[in-house]
Structure 1
Amino acid sequence: NMLQRMFNEINVSTSFIFLTVFLAFFYWYRRPKNFPPGPRGVPFLGFYRFFGNHPASKMRTWSKKYGPVMSVRMGRQDWVVLGDYETIQQGLVKQGNEFSGRPSIDIIERVSKGNGMIFLNYDEHWKKQRRFGLSTLRGFGVGKRSMEDRITEEVAYLNDAIRTHDGKAFNIQSILGNAISNNICSIVMGRRFDYDDERFKEIITRLARRYLTLRPAVCLRVHFGQFPILFTHLWRVDERCTRHIKKLIPESLREMVEEHKASYEQDNHRDFIDAFLGEQKAENGAKTFTAKYNNFYCIMYVIIFVAGTETTTSTLRWSLLCLIHDPEIQDKLRKEIFEVLGQEKIPAFEDKSKMPYTRAFIQEIYRHRTLLPLSVTHMTNEDANICGYTIQKGTTIAPNLWAVHNDPVVWDEPNKFKPERHLDADGNFVQLKHVIPFSVGPRHCLGEQLARMEVFIFLVSLVQKFEFLPDPKAKVLSDNENGSSGAAFVPLPFKIVAKVV
């Protein structure tokens, strides 16, 4: 009897285990009705650990099998990846209202308390902040000559800082970051800073040190945070990352806001900070422009400083890397610049119409070095249909911008850097629609116009005044193919020589 009971217990336990495994795999491999096909990965983990440094490239490889609209299991969630230009247009533009949400990331929610702009869902709260951002940027000169004057003023300081290295090899990242950040400071704070200003250095140092380390920890929370029992150690990682993000806000920035509050005048808005304070007072405690620091600093620092500085700085660093790798391209750029501007005339944004090769070079940088390969993830606000598939409300959407920029159907030898692909037979610049570095639709980059102006004026000014050469002490040229895949795809640190022309 005892032996019989033991066998019965073993049979029950075995049956329970098999039933549990069966239900787990059934749950894992099932999809909603009419959902896009795609790979499933490892049960409970999906593909998080198997993307390597270039998930956008891996996803494009899968799309050859599953199609331009496919699903990829990430943790316990199915993401839908839009893998070519047509599907991105169909989703983000033609169905912009349905595809413009933002998935909830718990670690961001903890820090921002549901405020900010980039990570807000697509609702009236976000729309009010978006309208405020656009109107305020325009009001303080973005897209106008006044902003261009600020950029060209900063060019002189940048060139002087470069000359102090006297032809010796140096890392240009911090100097470029200072220059770009000062453009942002002129909008946000109504002033620029000397590069050795202590408060300014604190802001820039924190930005450069912390920005590129956010994505791995955020991904841990997104993909594993729903398993507190199985992955308790990841919760400790998550707590550390929460504190890490909060440290992004320097104390000096808080001090500047307090100084603005003390000298605020309702009828004399000097900058973005004043404009925001004015909205707070006009709103009288409503949620959109809450007086809590989370909303204000998420907009002002994380969005304007991080997004506005690091992306433009990295675009210029990729540009300089390309120039030291291909002196012939650098010579072509300088020749066109000298023909149009000479060696002394300060470049203006309107000069771009007379500089087709320069425009082609910049456009190829945007294409060949996609800073945000998977853009910023979207979410469906309601049930939607795309390419015959049904996408349920609340589904995370990943637009694969890298795949658009490397589509062999559109681009001849897409892995090669060729500015000429953006010129017609007569040498005129061609604005091809398949280059979308700032994304598209209602949530395209708020600072696109400013970024384009900065990249053109800074690049032209740099090539006009300096010949850029590799570090003579380096055994090999700095890597022009691989970058750091943190929050963005940016160049690895490198040194460069700037020889006065």
Structure 2
Amino acid sequence: MEEIDYFLAEVDSYKGKPFDIQPLISKSIANVIAALVFGKRFELTDRTSAEMCSLLNEFVSSTAFQSSINFFPFLNYLPGDLFGSKKLKRDFDRIFEVMQSIVDEHRSTLDENNIRDYIDCFLLEQKRKDEASEDHTFTDKQLLVTVSEFFTAGMETTSTAIRWGILYLLHNPDTQKRMRKEIDNVVASGRFPSLDDKPKLPFCEAVCYEVLRIGNVAPTTGPHALKDDVTMNGYVIPKNATLFIDLDSINMDPDLFSDPCKFNPDRFMSEDGVVTGTEKIGSFSTGRRVCMGESMAKMELFLFMTSLVQRYEIQKEAGKPLPSLDGIEGLTYSPKKYEICLSRID
């Protein structure tokens, strides 16, 4: 909620003129994660934060081109950087460099009686296990990798989902109006929607679920490994095989969602106006390896979407066609670059 105040103040500065909202959303979502991991947020104009967001966005969008290196490692030794893997390593070295400086600052100011954030918790547990001479995995490298993964997984996916949401509302102005009417009937003027309002905003919640389904930000899961041989449809998948789950086959299954290519939030609304059927969505996977950031991502999507719709009308630039709904495939599935006009509603 605090970050949304800064986010909308920055949106106001564009005064309804067309702009690409992607960098602003990325930095705002990164700040939500930074508050948990680093114990502080960055100014939206902060250069280091902007660099981090840019590097992480580039990593996620370019990963699809690294797959050949994974299967044929010798390709990495060819002259030049045909597959972009060397640049990817340089980018991640820079990310680790920034993370390391923040960890070093935390280590030098650690107060066991005043734990500020995730890094402090990790360092305290590391210290306790070292003092007890216990074997453990709380290493410095593990901390850097974990913190980086929080940002890689938590920033790009959620910011991309919000961008899909804005794009689909741009293509569906009647959905915007219906959301705004529901918000106006529930939320008192002068404040933004909160999570306490969510049970009274079922259509807004249904819109968010439909964005998660059709936006399909993570079409496949990360790699998993089988503990035992599994027989499926007559095929044996051997123990220890690397397995990727095709979540797209769930979210776009016509047996689960009629006319799946159509944006239709009402598919998650019952006749008596209650949100229903959301358990069929596969966006966060399922079981013991379900996405650990699911609840946080849903909160962010709901709060950013409702706050935007409450205050602005989402429009395309006059005289230009609507941006494409086609996406770009990488580690995530993201919209093509687009610009919007956010006209303040007073």
Q: Distance in 1 between matches of 2:14 and 2:76?
A: 50
Q: Quick check: 1:181 aligned with 2:30?
A: yes
Aligned twin of 1:300:
147
Whether the aligned pair in 1 keeps the contact of 2:230 and 2:239 (CA below 8 Å) is yes
Cα drift, residue 438 of structure 1: 0.8
Q: Distance in 2 between matches of 1:283 and 1:234?
A: 45
Q: Quick check: 1:153 aligned with 2:6?
A: no
Aligned twin of 1:497:
341
CA distances 1:327-378 after superposition (whole Å, capped 9, x unpaired) = 1111111111111114423322132111111111111111111111122232
Whether the aligned pair in 2 keeps the contact of 1:220 and 1:234 (CA below 8 Å) is no
Q: Distance in 2 between matches of 1:231 and 1:311?
A: 28
Q: Quick check: 1:254 aligned with 2:103?
A: no
Whether the aligned pair in 2 keeps the contact of 1:356 and 1:428 (CA below 8 Å) is yes
Q: Distance in 1 between matches of 2:339 and 2:30?
A: 21
Whether the aligned pair in 2 keeps the contact of 1:221 and 1:238 (CA below 8 Å) is no
Aligned residue for 1:390, secondary structure, equals strand
Q: Distance in 2 between matches of 1:231 and 1:273?
A: 34
CA distances 1:246-287 after superposition (whole Å, capped 9, x unpaired) = 335153332221111110122321111111111221222734
Cα drift, residue 216 of structure 1: 1.4
Q: Distance in 2 between matches of 1:394 and 1:163?
A: 52
Cα drift, residue 184 of structure 1: 0.6
Whether the aligned pair in 1 keeps the contact of 2:59 and 2:88 (CA below 8 Å) is no
Query: 1:484 aligned to 297, 317, 328, which one?
Result: 328
Cα drift, residue 472 of structure 1: 2.0
In the TM superposition, what are the counterparts of 1:189-268 in structure 2 within 5 Å? 189-217=38-66, 219-225=67-73, 228=74, 233=78, 237=83, 240=86, 243-244=89-90, 246-247=92-93, 249=95, 251-268=97-114
In the TM superposition, what are the counterparts of 1:26-425 in structure 2 within 5 Å? 152-217=1-66, 219-225=67-73, 228=74, 233=78, 237=83, 240=86, 243-244=89-90, 246-247=92-93, 249=95, 251-284=97-130, 286-291=135-140, 293=141, 295-301=142-148, 303-386=149-232, 389-425=235-271
Q: Distance in 2 between matches of 1:184 and 1:406?
A: 30
Whether the aligned pair in 2 keeps the contact of 1:401 and 1:437 (CA below 8 Å) is yes
Amino acid at match of 1:264: L
Q: 1:239 to 1:452 in 2, by over 3 A?
A: closer
Cα drift, residue 242 of structure 1: 5.8
Amino acid at match of 2:39: G
CA distances 1:394-421 after superposition (whole Å, capped 9, x unpaired) = 2222221111111112221111111111
Whether the aligned pair in 1 keeps the contact of 2:323 and 2:338 (CA below 8 Å) is yes
Cα drift, residue 392 of structure 1: 1.1
Cα drift, residue 434 of structure 1: 1.3
CA distances 1:403-449 after superposition (whole Å, capped 9, x unpaired) = 11111122211111111111112222113321021111121111111
Cα drift, residue 386 of structure 1: 4.1
Amino acid at match of 2:332: A
Q: Distance in 2 between matches of 1:238 and 1:329?
A: 41
Cα drift, residue 389 of structure 1: 4.4
RMSD of aligned alpha carbons: 2.2
Amino acid at match of 1:183: V
Aligned residue for 1:249, secondary structure, equals helix
Amino acid at match of 1:331: K
Q: Distance in 2 between matches of 1:156 and 1:366?
A: 24
Q: Distance in 2 between matches of 1:455 and 1:238?
A: 32
Q: Normalised by the size of structure 1, how large is the TM-score? A: 0.64
Q: Distance in 1 between matches of 2:204 and 2:88?
A: 42
Amino acid at match of 1:456: F
Q: 1:357 to 1:242 in 2, by over 3 A?
A: closer
Q: Distance in 2 between matches of 1:277 and 1:422?
A: 44
Q: Distance in 1 between matches of 2:100 and 2:300?
A: 27
Q: Quick check: 1:451 aligned with 2:300?
A: no
Q: Normalised by the size of structure 2, how large is the TM-score? A: 0.92
Q: Distance in 2 between matches of 1:431 and 1:344?
A: 33
CA distances 1:277-316 after superposition (whole Å, capped 9, x unpaired) = 112212227341112x3x2221101x11111111110111
Whether the aligned pair in 2 keeps the contact of 1:202 and 1:250 (CA below 8 Å) is no
Whether the aligned pair in 2 keeps the contact of 1:249 and 1:297 (CA below 8 Å) is no
Whether the aligned pair in 2 keeps the contact of 1:478 and 1:494 (CA below 8 Å) is yes
Cα drift, residue 384 of structure 1: 2.9
Q: Distance in 1 between matches of 2:178 and 2:84?
A: 49
**Which residues of structure 2 form unaligned runs of 5+?**
none
**Which residues of structure 1 form unaligned runs of 5+?**
1-151
The alignment of Structure 1 onto Structure 2 pairs a total of residues equal to 341
CA distances 1:160-188 after superposition (whole Å, capped 9, x unpaired) = 00000011000011111111111111101
Bigger radius of gyration among the two: 1
